[in-house]
Structures are given as C-alpha cells and as structure tokens.
C-alpha cells in the first residue's frame, strides 16, 4: 500500500495542513486526496527543499573548513525554512535522500547546482495567490544566493555559472514575449494586499514594483542634490543601476501603457531632514514589491522580472550586513 504523509507549516496566508498516519482508500490520507493540484505542487516543492536541506546540513557537519561549514549550514537553514513554510509531501515508497558520508569540493558543487536548478523554476499554479507567490520568490532567491556563496568558497567561476533564481521559461526572443496587461485602475497601486479581482494580480504587482522604483529614484535624486559630494556620487551610481532595472521592468508592459511615474512623490514628515533613512525604507519597499512581482507573474515575463530582482537584490546581498530575503514567520 502506498502511504503518504505531510509535514506542513505555513505563513503569509498559506493554509496549514498537518497529517500523521491516517489513511484512506488507495493509501492516500484525506489531506492529500482532497487537496488541489496547486496544494500538492506546493507540498512537492517543499519536499525537494527538505531533501536538499538535509544534504546541506549533513555536508556542513563533515566540512573541516569553518567558512565552508558555515556557508553550508546557512544553505541548509534556508532550505529547511523554505520547506517548513510550504509543507512537505512524502510517500513511504520514496527512498530518503542520500546523505553524504564525506565532504569534497565536488560534492559541494553538485549540491549547489541542484539547489540553483530547483530555484530556477518555481511551480506555476492554476489559482493565483499573492502571498504564496511572494513566499516562493523569497525562498528561490535566498537559496540561490546561499548556494552561490557556498560554491564561491571553492570555485568562483563555477558559482558564476549557476542558473539564476526563477530564470526558466524565457521567451525565444523579446519580440515573441507576451507582455503583462496595463493596469487601468491606478488606485490599486497603493498598499500591498491582493486585488479583489485576481485577474488583475499580475498587472497590479508589476505596477507596484515600478511605482516603488520610481519613488526610490525620486528619494535618491533628492539625496544626491542635498548631500555631500560622496553621498551624491553614491546616490547617482545607485540611480543609474535603478533606472536600468526600471526600463527592463517597463519592457514587460505594452508600449502604449500610460506612464506610471508621478510628477512628484510625497516624503514622510521631516523626510528632508533624514533622507538616508527615507531612502533605505524606499529601497526596502522596492525590494519587497520586486519579490511579489517575481513570484506572481507567470509566462514569458516571469524571467524578465526575476532578472531585475537578481540584479537589485544581488547588489544588496554583497553587502556585509545584508538583510535576509527569506523572512521568519514572526516577521
């Protein structure tokens, strides 16, 4: 008899299912047999994360180099956290993941490649869910960056060749790519909640990413104008990268979509006196909006948006005190 079990825990509005031992006809528990295809796909992805997490943790305990061991432990933690957020679906006839019995650079490279490949293609679901999509994007980018960081310690060239997160499914050419529909109701840009009409979800998350990016650009421009020469140079350098990202995001929309950039952006109270903090908050808003867009846009433009996220977050992750992309349940 085929026996299935689920280890489940989730956040950001994803339903929680925990099953232990109950069986129904054909060996499937009610929680599995009655679950939607979307839910089972989520659990299946979680199970793959858990298996790779176990391998990373085992390899971390075997590595003698402290930096490599720490990097593998971080990777294992991120993979296990992702699995806990999504839940896991396992069958009794599935053999457990092979745990490494020794460490070697080749085994680390193989593990990093498996993690990056898994992160390059997240599931697509029949029914959109903004919070689930953002969660998957956070998982994908966190484990991808962690895998790169670990592999860089033994082979920087090979690490650079790993597939980026959510990079699968790119159109054959930009001309052949189907664009995301224009957003007619600009009042939906405000906030972070899901629109009542789920047909508008892709348009809303892309418009929000552009809006947050334009707001960040406005803040950086003010910072450059009012700051020291060093501050101005750093802000202008950041603006150059940011505007390149925004042009790429804009290319995911039809050319005749109205411009979403506003004539002016309102600063918080006393914002001019603390522009660096305002810019940091605007950067965080932009990053969050990018992750929501990457996880919820499907089809040809998914990899376009994900490429922007990789560029924006990759620069942040290279900093010594970078904020984790994958949040804990309490955050």
Q: How far apart are CA 8 and CA 128, in angstroms?
A: 20
Residue 95 lies in a domain: yes
In a domain, 156, yes or no: yes
Q: Report the alpha-carbon distance of residue 307 to residue 314 in Å, rounded.
A: 10
Asked whether residue 148 falls in the same domain as residue 181, the answer is: no
Same domain, 131 and 217: no
**CA dihedral of 297, 251, 212, 308, whole degrees rounded to 10:** 70
For residue 236, count other CB atoms closer than 10 A to its CB.
13
Domain boundary among 110, 126, 160: 160
Give the count of beta carbons closer than 10 Å to the beta carbon of residue 260. Answer: 21
**What span, in angstroms and rounded, lies between the C-alpha atoms of 81 and 262?**
39
Q: Are strands 4-7 and 88-91 parallel, antiparallel or unpaired?
A: antiparallel
What stretch of H or E contains 244?
helix 229-250
DSSP string computed for 140-200: HHHHHHHHHHHHHTT-HHHHHTSPPTT--S--SSGGGPPPPPP-S-GGGGSSSSPPSSGGG
9 and 141 belong to one structural domain: yes
More confident residue, 264 or 304: 304
Mean pLDDT in residue range 225-241 = 93
> CA 132 to CA 294: how far, in whole Å?
12
Domain span holding position 23: 4-160
Q: Is the pLDDT of residue 18 over 70?
A: no
Is residue 263 very low, low, confident or very high in pLDDT (cuts 50, 70, 90)?
confident
Distance in angstroms (rounded) separating the CA atoms of residues 235 and 238: 5
Radius of gyration of the chain (CA): 21
Contact (Cβ atoms closer than 8 angstroms) between residue 1 and residue 27: yes
Last residue of a domain, one of 160, 191, 215: 160
Among left, alpha and beta (phi > 0; psi -120 to 50; other), residue 78 is: alpha
Last residue of a domain, one of 112, 138, 160: 160
DSSP code of 270?
T
254 part of a folded domain: yes
pTM above 0.95, yes or no: no
Same domain, 145 and 200: no
Report the percent of the chain where pLDDT is more than 70: 83
In a domain, 80, yes or no: yes
Average predicted confidence (pLDDT) for the chain: 86
Determine, yes or no, domain membership for 165: no
Tell me, yes or no, whether 35 and 93 share the same domain: yes
pLDDT at 297 over 70: yes
CA-CA distance, 164 to 170, in Å (whole number)? 12
Does residue 200 share a domain with residue 139? no
- SS3 labels along 102-143: CCCHHHHHHHHHHHHHHHCCCCCCCCCCHHHHHHHHHHHHHH
- 196 plus 278 within the same structural domain: yes
pLDDT reading at 37 higher than 60: yes
pLDDT tens digit string along 155-178?
A: 999 999 999 999 976 655 555 578
Domain total in the chain: 2
Residues 112 and 187 in one domain: no
Nearest CA-CA partner of 12 in 283, 293, 330: 330
In a domain, 329, yes or no: no
Together in a domain, 218 and 290: yes
Distance from C-alpha of 308 to C-alpha of 290, rounded to nearest angstrom: 8
Q: Do the domain assignments include residue 323? A: no
State the CATH number of the domain containing residue 242. Answer: 1.20.1260
Cα(247)–Cα(307) distance, integer angstroms: 12
């Amino acid at each position: 008899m085929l026996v299935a079990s689920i280890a489940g825990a989730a956040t950001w509005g994803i339903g929680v299912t925990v099953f232990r031992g109950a069986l129904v006809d054909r060996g499937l528990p009610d929680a599995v047999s009655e679950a939607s295809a979307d839910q089972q796909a989520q659990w299946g992805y979680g199970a793959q994360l858990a298996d790779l997490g176990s391998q990373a943790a085992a390899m971390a305990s075997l590595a003698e180099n402290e930096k490599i061991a720490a990097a593998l432990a971080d990777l294992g933690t991120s993979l296990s956290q992702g699995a806990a957020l999504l839940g896991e679906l396992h069958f009794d006839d599935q053999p457990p993941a092979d745990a490494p019995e020794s460490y070697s650079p080749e085994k680390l490279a193989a593990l990093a490649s498996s993690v990056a490949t898994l992160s390059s293609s997240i599931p697509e679901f029949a029914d959109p869910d903004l919070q689930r999509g953002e969660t998957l994007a956070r998982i994908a980018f966190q484990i991808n960056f962690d895998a790169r960081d670990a592999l860089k310690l033994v082979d920087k060239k090979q690490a650079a060749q790993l597939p980026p997160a959510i990079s699968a499914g790119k159109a054959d050419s930009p001309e052949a790519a189907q664009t995301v529909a224009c957003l007619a109701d600009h009042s939906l840009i405000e906030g972070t909640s899901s629109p009542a009409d789920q047909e508008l979800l892709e348009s809303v998350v892309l418009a929000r990413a552009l809006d947050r990016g334009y707001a960040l650009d406005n803040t950086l421009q003010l910072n450059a104008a009012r700051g020291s020469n060093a501050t101005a140079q750093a802000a202008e350098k950041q603006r150059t990268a940011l505007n390149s990202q925004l042009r790429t995001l804009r290319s995911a929309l039809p050319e005749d979509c109205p411009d979403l950039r506003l004539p002016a952006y309102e600063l918080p109270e006393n914002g001019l006196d603390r522009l660096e903090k305002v810019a940091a908050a605007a950067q965080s808003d932009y990053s969050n909006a990018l992750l929501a867009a990457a996880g919820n846009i499907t089809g040809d433009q998914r990899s376009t948006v994900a490429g922007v996220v990789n560029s924006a977050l990759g620069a942040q992750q290279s900093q010594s005190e970078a904020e984790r992309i994958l949040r804990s349940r309490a955050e």
